[in-house]
Amino acid sequence: MPLRERSVRYWIPNNLIPHTLEIHSAIDLKAKKIATQQNSGVHFFLSLFLTYNQILEYDVEIIFLKAMQLSNALINGEIDVFSMRNPYAQEAKSALGANAIEIFEPDIYNMVFNLSAKDKFLEYNPKIVVDIIRATIQAEEFIKENKGKAIQIIARV
């Protein structure tokens, strides 16, 4: 069945947020405890991030936690850094205040979201399709123009 698609490429800031002020760049992660969610996009990002920065996985201690455990583990000093996206990254940043530092490489991990529809659906529902695409474009524009507010909205979801 033929499909038509619209693709949007997003950079997802899989933040590495240090708890201590001794971490300023990727190289400072050696011998640190880094937590992430196992078998997830952020786990994949962490592996890419380490490779990109020429850090071997045995140069760090990787700890797997559930996403909702990461902020507390960082705040309580059980880990040095975590790799996760919002709202968990924002939660930790808010709690750590001036001690929060983000280390990221925006060019190593991108995510693509696709809107797909079968030809028959397009044929019989053109207004719905146009409305969905229009709403998607408006949402993209809102996020670009209102990053802070968009983060707050997503954090509530």
pLDDT score of 147: 85
Per-residue pLDDT of the chain (157 residues; tens, 9 = 90+): 454 544 444 444 556 666 666 777 788 888 899 999 999 888 988 998 899 999 998 999 999 999 999 988 988 889 888 888 878 888 888 888 877 888 777 777 666 778 888 889 988 999 998 999 899 899 989 988 998 888 788 777 6
As a three-state string, the secondary structure of 63-105 is EECCHHHHHHHHHCCCCCEEEECCCHHHHHHHHHHHHCCCECC
pLDDT score of 15: 61
| Of 124, 128, 127, 121, residue with least CA distance to 2 | 121
Enter the pTM of the model. Answer: 0.66
| CA pair distance 91, 28, nearest whole angstrom | 23
Q: Coil, strand or helix: which one is 60?
A: coil
Boundaries of every domain in the chain: 3-9+110-156, 12-99
pLDDT score of 6: 47
Backbone Cα Rg of the chain: 19
> What residues are paired with 93 via a beta bridge?
none
**Beta-strand relationship, 33-36 and 81-84:** parallel
CATH architecture, domain 12-99: 3-Layer(aba) Sandwich (3.40)
pLDDT score of 21: 64
